[in-house]
């Protein structure tokens, strides 16, 4: 009961204190808001780079042509062989037999065209099309190795994939992705220092209050509590403007650009739920940094 | 057993300066003791050791049966809840009202509001500040601010009231009033009072026990004494 009373009293006191120390609270708030705005931009950029890389990776496929004379048993063995390769998405392997390929060709060809006329004359025995597997792979830089492994399988005639350019591009994008994550982490560290120092300044100006608390018999944990709550509140309040800018600003950008960034291949992440996740990250950073900043700043004035 | 037992105490600061040297002092429960002496003779260090703001380098300091020096930092707050401390510079929170200042310690200790109201009312009555609950320190005179500080110190009905130069910032008339309030608390609440002062007039008018320090040692300890610090080299 006592602890609950202390907690709620301190929550109330934290709000009162924010109002009473308005100028210092405003300084912390502005500092948090500005730094979190930078983080918001970094999160949006990183999210989109990540999305771009993921889209590229997901579209990595290769076609495995099987010898047209292969029996059903041999085709099953080829499939097993492909499935056993680590870098292959085993549950996404698509098999197309001669008949399916013929139907697809007819569907895609214009009626009355030469191709249509020729293909339509083929029956099951003289269909020259080779059965094929469409195989999705997990990582771009291992495509060549995977293709070689598949080629070595019995009854596999050839393997084709056209993502040679992507194969070279993806590692580059991955580097950009890693760099953007490093930038975010770096920014968070800078923010911890910036917000932490602003809070330290606030607490320094209230060191007498801490001294009085100690002298009237307040435990160290209870001394910390109002400052920690206040830091958390300021952190959360400081994240509100960046959150609003993230949701509102990004949605507008997305609509104006039509969801495409410069080139059709670079699709932007849809605003929902992306901006919600980004907002949650922002509020969490604000709250945690505010809380830890206050905790460590108060510690300096406690004889612990 | 005495209420306060200071035995062979030393306090050496990092720069090698000895603030207290082999000091022993015993104070009974309910006693009123003046600690006097010239500037930097160790008076404040002595009382700081009572509320564990300073730890003795050597020796023991026992207050109400508790060996103060052995209280770990994390438990010092428990000791301080049993004491009342009054300072020369009042140490009031300017943004809190009189009521909030007096209730500050109790509120942080999680005491119920109904009990806080009762105790604060009583403490303010004792120091003669009834009706000033909603005032802010800046709207009070020096004497009134010191009364608020005393009210905050006695609100928890401590067994020991430590006053570190409580009249240092006050004019002679107000100083007398403050000492009267402290004396009343000593008599009515049976609170032990240890008061550091170099106010000759006050010491001489009270006729209480006077302990005189010089260079960190007790040079005079007289019941119903007078201010002798001036006469000591």
Q: Residue A79's Cα: distance from chain center in Å?
A: 33
B154 assigned to some structural domain: yes
- Residue A170 has a pLDDT of 66
Sequence-distant (6+) residues with CB within 8 A of A215 are B51, B53, B80, B85, B91
pLDDT confidence tier of residue A164, bands split at 50, 70 and 90: low
State how far residue B74 is from chain A, nearest Cα, in angstroms.
Answer: 6
Q: What is the mean pLDDT of residues A270-293?
A: 90
B60 assigned to some structural domain: no
Q: Longest Cα pair distance anywhere in chain A, in angstroms?
A: 100
Is B110 in the A-facing interface, judged by CB distances under 8 Å? Answer: yes
- Residue A26 has a pLDDT of 87
Q: What is the ipTM of this complex?
A: 0.86
Closest-CA residue of B relative to A225 is B108
- Residue A265 has a pLDDT of 67
CB-neighbour burial class of residue B158 (10 A; exposed 0-12, middle 13-18, buried 19+): buried
pLDDT confidence tier of residue A279, bands split at 50, 70 and 90: very high
- Specify the residue for token string 């030393």: B10
Q: What is the mean pLDDT of residues A175-198?
A: 78
Can you give the residue range of the structural domain that contains B83? 29-54+72-228
pLDDT confidence tier of residue A127, bands split at 50, 70 and 90: confident
Residue A295 has pLDDT above 80, yes or no: yes
pLDDT confidence tier of residue B232, bands split at 50, 70 and 90: low
- Contacting residues of B for A20, CB less than 8 Å apart: 95
* B104·A217 Cβ contact <8 A: no
**C-alpha separations of A16 from A9, A22, A230, A233, B125 in Å:** 10, 10, 9, 12, 27
B213 assigned to some structural domain: yes
Q: Which of A57-61, A230-234, B120-124, B187-191 has the lowest mean pLDDT?
A: A57-61
DSSP state string for B143-178: HHHHHHHHHHHHTT--SEEEEESTTTTS-HHHHHHH
- Residue A157 has a pLDDT of 87
B14 assigned to some structural domain: no
B94 assigned to some structural domain: yes
Sequence-distant (6+) residues with CB within 8 A of B211 are B25, B33, B34, B35, B36, B218, B220, B221
- Residue A227 has a pLDDT of 86
Q: Report the C-alpha gap between B170 and B167 in whole angstroms.
A: 5
- Residue A168 has a pLDDT of 66
B4 assigned to some structural domain: no
Mean pLDDT, rounded, of chain B: 91
* B108·A218 Cβ contact <8 A: yes
- Contacting residues of A for B53, CB less than 8 Å apart: 215
pLDDT confidence tier of residue B51, bands split at 50, 70 and 90: very high
- Specify the residue for token string 């009990």: B115
- Residue B126 has a pLDDT of 92
- Specify the residue for token string 């579209």: A59
- The candidate with the shortest Cα–Cα distance to B47, out of B147, B166, B143, is B166
Residue A187 has pLDDT above 60, yes or no: yes
B49 assigned to some structural domain: yes
- Residue A167 has a pLDDT of 62
**DSSP run (H or E) holding B113:** helix B113-126
Is B79 in the A-facing interface, judged by CB distances under 8 Å? Answer: yes
Most trustworthy range by pLDDT among A125-134, A212-221, B24-33, B73-82: B24-33
Q: What is the mean pLDDT of residues B65-81?
A: 90
Residue B137 has pLDDT above 90, yes or no: yes
What CATH number is associated with residue B36?
Answer: 3.40.50.300
Domains parsed from chain A with CATH numbers:
13-56+168-299 (no CATH), 60-162 (3.30.70.3040)
**DSSP run (H or E) holding A227:** helix A220-244
Residues A46-100 pLDDT 10s: 888 878 877 776 677 888 998 888 888 888 888 888 888 888 888 888 888 888 8
Percent of chain A scoring above 90 in pLDDT = 10
Alpha-carbon torsion (A204, A206, A212, A218), positive or negative: negative
Residues B169-201 pLDDT 10s: 889 899 999 999 999 999 999 999 999 998 889
The total domain count for chain B is 1
Mean pLDDT, rounded, of chain A: 83
* B108·A6 Cβ contact <8 A: yes
- Bigger pLDDT: A223 vs B1: A223
Residue A246 has pLDDT above 80, yes or no: yes
- Bigger pLDDT: B136 vs A168: B136
* B105·A5 Cβ contact <8 A: no
- Residue B10 has a pLDDT of 93
B132 assigned to some structural domain: yes
Percent of chain B scoring above 90 in pLDDT = 71
**C-alpha separations of A267 from A50, A261, B11 in Å:** 11, 6, 73
- Residue B84 has a pLDDT of 94
Contact B221, B211 (CB under 8 A): yes
| 8-state DSSP, A260 | B
- Bigger pLDDT: B120 vs A226: B120
Q: What is the mean pLDDT of residues A158-162?
A: 81
**DSSP run (H or E) holding B219:** strand B217-222
- The candidate with the shortest Cα–Cα distance to A184, out of A34, A28, A40, is A40
Q: Tokens at residue B91, please? A: 């140490």
């Amino acid at each position: 009961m006592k602890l609950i009373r202390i907690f709620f009293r301190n929550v109330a006191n934290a709000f009162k204190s924010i109002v009473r120390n308005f100028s210092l609270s405003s300084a912390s708030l502005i500092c948090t808001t500005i730094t979190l705005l930078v983080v918001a931009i970094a999160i949006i950029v990183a999210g989109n780079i990540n999305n771009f890389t993921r889209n590229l990776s997901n579209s990595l496929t290769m076609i495995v042509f099987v010898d047209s004379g292969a029996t059903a048993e041999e085709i099953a063995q080829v499939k097993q062989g492909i499935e056993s390769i680590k870098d292959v998405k085993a549950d996404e392997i698509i098999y197309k037999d001669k008949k399916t390929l013929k139907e697809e060709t007819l569907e895609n060809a214009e009626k009355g065209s030469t191709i249509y006329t020729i293909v339509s004359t083929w029956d099951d025995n003289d269909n020259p099309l080779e059965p094929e597997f469409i195989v999705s792979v997990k990582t771009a830089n291992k495509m060549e190795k995977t293709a070689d492994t598949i080629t070595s399988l019995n009854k596999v005639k050839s393997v084709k994939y056209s993502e040679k350019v992507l194969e070279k591009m993806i590692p580059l994008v991955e580097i950009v992705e890693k760099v953007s994550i490093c930038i975010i982490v770096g920014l968070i560290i800078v923010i911890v220092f910036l917000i932490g120092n602003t809070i330290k300044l606030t607490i320094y100006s209230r060191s007498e209050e801490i001294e009085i608390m100690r002298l009237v018999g307040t435990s160290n944990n209870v001394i910390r509590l109002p400052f920690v709550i206040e830091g958390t509140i300021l952190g959360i309040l400081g994240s509100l403007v960046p959150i609003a800018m993230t949701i509102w600003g990004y949605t507008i950008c997305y609509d104006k650009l039509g969801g495409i960034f410069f080139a059709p291949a670079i699709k932007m992440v849809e605003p929902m739920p992306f901006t919600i996740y980004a907002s949650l990250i922002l509020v969490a950073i604000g709250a945690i940094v505010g809380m830890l900043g206050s905790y460590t700043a108060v510690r300096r004035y406690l004889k612990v | 057993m005495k209420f306060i037992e200071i035995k062979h105490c030393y306090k050496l600061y990092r720069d090698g300066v000895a603030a207290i040297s082999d000091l022993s002092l015993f104070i009974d429960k309910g006693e009123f003791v003046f600690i006097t002496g010239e500037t930097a003779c160790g008076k404040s260090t002595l009382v700081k050791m009572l509320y564990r703001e300073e730890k003795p380098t050597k020796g023991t300091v026992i207050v109400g049966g508790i060996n103060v020096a052995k209280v770990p930092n994390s438990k010092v707050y428990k000791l301080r809840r049993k004491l009342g401390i009054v300072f020369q510079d009042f140490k009031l929170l300017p943004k809190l009202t009189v009521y909030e200042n007096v209730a500050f310690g109790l509120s942080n200790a999680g005491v119920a509001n109904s009990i806080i109201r009762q105790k604060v009312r009583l403490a303010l009555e004792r120091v003669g500040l009834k009706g000033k609950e909603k005032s802010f320190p800046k709207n009070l005179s020096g004497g009134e601010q010191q009364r608020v500080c005393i009210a905050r110190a006695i609100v928890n009905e401590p067994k020991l009231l430590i006053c570190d130069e409580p009249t240092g910032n006050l004019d002679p008339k107000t100083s007398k009033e403050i000492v009267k309030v402290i004396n009343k608390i000593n008599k009515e609440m049976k609170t032990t009072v240890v008061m550091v002062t170099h106010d000759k007039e006050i010491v001489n008018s009270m006729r209480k026990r006077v302990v005189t320090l010089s260079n960190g040692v007790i040079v005079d300890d007289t019941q119903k004494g007078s201010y002798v610090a001036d006469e000591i080299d």
